[in-house]
Amino acid sequence: MKLREIVVEKAIVPRLVAVQRDEVIGEMLDVLIAAGTVEPSLRDEFIKAVIKREKRGSTGVGQGVAIPHVKSERIARLSVAVGVSANGVEFSALDRQPVHLVFLVLSPENRPEEHLDAMQVIFSTLGQPQFRRFLRQATTVQEIVTLLEEADASHFVR
């Protein structure tokens, strides 16, 4: 699985406006809705589901990264939104540091292997300090797309 296969280009936000965790989740869902990936009528349901998941344990994995996610039978296709916060967002991360990079993952409930594959490729890519640094410096959607493509190419070579 490659990042470019799952990240919705129209759901890349190089400069998140929101400054609170729940607002960031809403902003990222809004771009998935605008991209046609999520039905507008499901917005509140998905926000509640993602926040409920956060309350069970933060998806702020440390090193400035959060990967909020939800599985639902109402999701037809795995979709990922990417957001970058210049100032950082409090996500109750494991290392207690602000989160600058957010990957929101929406997965169909009936395809758990696909969800695990997506989480693995996201974790392994965000585990690279150089990728995180370049992603934080990106200011346009195209710069982020290029970084995702480069990350996919390096995974392919391995």
DSSP class of residue 143 equals H
Q: Could you say which of 69, 100, 115, 155 is catalytic? A: 69
Asked about 100 being catalytic, the answer comes back as: no
The contacts of residue 3 (CB under 8 Å, 6+ apart) are 80, 121, 122, 125, 148, 151, 152
**3-class DSSP assignment, residue 10:** strand
Cα gap 16→144, rounded to integer Å:
14
Which residues belong to the active site?
69
